[in-house]
Structure 1
């Protein structure tokens, strides 16, 4: 049981548990390949993600109220602050699951109302974490060494863009749909430009200083999150454009999504292969469980969702099959990481000081 004293070191990276759980519900529900039991799997993981989000939000509130000094210390920490991006992404992921899965078990109007509210909250939170991260990066002398976790507060607007596309058709025709579509493309652009800047910093750091330490190596998977989410956003928005703008404009946006998906899908495959090799070597070198293992989960789910969206938008078979393969790997990885996490919570090894 997580009592108040144990919550002293409940850090924001715990919300990656919600992200990783919720993305399975989203990926399964949107999977463009028929798999037996997919509806039950999606529903189970959505309900679990909702429960985890409720528990963690409550626990995090207790953490801030009862352990304010620890909470402020973590928020000021250059190492831990980036993981505050996990909170809005957890909210956005549960919102997306509510739209995709919840609408099949509760009234659709209620489901999309909840999804829209969570989308708004997650988007505001994501813009806030991006703004704070931008401010910290401007202070060159104090920003520290570039690490993959720096992408965490930057990815939320891209998740907003990817998940907001599903809400476009549930808005009144005309101005509201156009505004939502334009806003999502603005979020897409903001996140992509900011992420590319950080990736450039990471590339320079890896060139000069080498890869992260062994126990932090799972964070090398984090960049795949924005790759997958950006593919999903470009193609989901391209599809949604057909319900919001004129035929010619919608066709251009649709073609942009396909071109972007082809380019970034190629990048995704190369990066997946590279980090897969690095991770295999890390396990052979003695990589042991830490909460950084959750860095494996959401990025793979994002890639599965992205490939699924690309496959549907272009009616391509290979991306659809790749989406199914990634989803199978995702569920297996989630089971391994979740069992390790639950065991350490039960034995009181977690939460632990960061």
Structure 2
């Protein structure tokens, strides 16, 4: 069930054309007036489905072709949303500024960064089957650069706005606060795929160490924020029903950091001197395995909370896309552990999580399409 929130109509002022007998000017692009940055989560989830499928250790006949098609869909969604959001800012600047002033909305600007980087990473991982390696690498480089810059800005500006302009009590803390802080970790995980395409020496080493710096930036920022989220659950009770799926967002930095650790180990031998490259090859085991253990603990906790919320009538909302991309990062993380340890248990874990991801994506996509057709997700002006 999709719950729609009606938008109250403002009374016409005395000078309104409606009262003076003149025809009121028609608003341009009314369909995008309520289009917020949270819609980029659909792009992230779709790109994550493609990338996770391509990363699975087990090769399923036909799966890579399907993943290439899913990646193409994510690219179409990204371009469409970029155009729609440009129309939103052009014709509904008042609404766009209201989003920036809303502490519940502004963290979703981190989704723009992650959508750009995720689609770019998908191009290098599976989109190259259709576009060719050269075009895929070029697209990945452009989207990675743009997404990383947006992510760095969001990682600074959003916490600043939350701390300076807004006043939130502990009960107002939600996992959504993590979104701008996770964005640099997505760049850290995707960047190493570009390392082999750079000239040997300084270029490769700079990019890899830059990704390692993004890894630390995001990891420490999330480490400071996650206790607030956990403390809020322990002291203020469960999240509101519509926000309960956002508990899955915590899996994003966990799974993505494990993925990044595996990708650092893959790229290090050709980018860094032997001692440092050898040290990074230990990272998937020494860091990745413990963090994956915590990710599974949080996954179980989030599932219990979602089951409780569902029993109490939680209907579909765009927050259901939180079930997709974070789980996809755990798939790629488990696949990286399987690749670097040779332990078949991680292969099985990646397969199980991917099956759950497919179900989650299908559910979120179906609910979104149904809500759009019914006009419940993007109310139109009357």
TM-score by length of 1: 0.96
Q: Is the 8 A contact 2:173 2:229 kept in 1?
A: yes
Alpha-carbon deviation of 1:137?
Answer: 4.4
185-194 vs 164-173, greater mean Cα deviation: 164-173
Equivalent residue, structure 1, for 2:175: 148
Q: Distance in 1 between matches of 2:139 and 2:344?
A: 33
Mean Cα deviation higher: 234-243 or 178-187: 234-243
Deviations 1:290-313, CA, capped at 9 Å, x for gaps: 111111111111111111112112
Give the aligned partner of residue 18 of structure 2.
none
2:333 pairs with 1:325: no
Q: CA deviation at 1:13?
A: 0.4
Q: Deviations over 1:165-190 (max 9, x none)?
A: 11111111000000001100000000
CA distance in structure 2 between the aligned counterparts of 1:180 and 1:328, rounded to whole angstroms? 33
Corresponding residue for residue 236 of structure 2 = 209
Match of 1:57 among 82, 94, 115: 82
Q: Residue in 2 aligned with 1:286?
A: 313
* RMSD of Structure 2 on Structure 1 (CA): 1.4
Contact 2:284 2:336 in 1 (8 A): no
Check whether the contact 2:103–2:162 (CA below 8 A) recurs between aligned residues: no
Equivalent in 359, 363, 373 of residue 336 of structure 1: 363
Provide Cα deviations, 1:64-98, integer angstroms capped at 9, x if missing partner.
10110001101121110001111110001100011
Q: 1:302–1:148: structure 2 CA closer, same or farther, 3 Å change rule?
A: same
Deviation at 1:141, TM superposition (A): 6.3
Alpha-carbon distance in 2 for matches of 1:24, 1:225:
14
2:263 corresponds to 1:236: yes
Q: Secondary structure at the match of 1:101?
A: helix
In 2 relative to 1, CA 115–141 (structure 1 residues): closer, same or farther, beyond 3 Å? closer
1:4-63 Cα shifts (integer Å, max 9, x gaps): 102110010000000000001111111111223211221111010001001111000001
1:204 CA drift (Å): 2.5
Are the aligned partners of 1:33 and 1:321 in contact in 2 as well (CA < 8 Å)? no
Runs of 4+ in 1 over 3 A off after TM superposition: none
The C-alpha deviation readout for 1:216-244, integer Å capped at 9, x for no partner, is: 10011101011110000011112211111
1:63-212 aligned within 5 A: 63-139=88-164, 142-144=167-169, 145-212=172-239
Shift in Å, 1:208: 2.2
Q: CA deviation at 1:247?
A: 2.2
Query: Shift of residue 114 of structure 1?
Result: 1.1
Secondary structure in 2 matching 1:167:
helix
Say if 2:12 is the partner of 1:4: no
Shift of 1:140: 8.4
Q: Which moved more, 1:331-340 or 1:202-211?
A: 202-211
1:223 equivalent to 2:276? Answer no
1:27 aligned residue: 52
Does residue 333 of structure 2 align to residue 309 of structure 1? no
User: Which structure is larger by alpha-carbon Rg, 1 or 2?
Assistant: 2
Give ranges in structure 1 of 5+ residues lacking alignment.
Answer: none
**Contact 2:238/2:305, CA 8 A, preserved across alignment:** no
Is residue 14 of structure 1 aligned with residue 39 of structure 2? yes
1:246 CA displacement: 2.1
Q: In the aligned structure 1, how far is the partner of 2:298 from the partner of 2:66? A: 28
Aligned equivalents of 1:212, 1:156: Cα separation in 2: 23
Gaps of 5+ in 2: 1-27
Question: How does the TM-score come out when normalised to structure 2?
Answer: 0.89
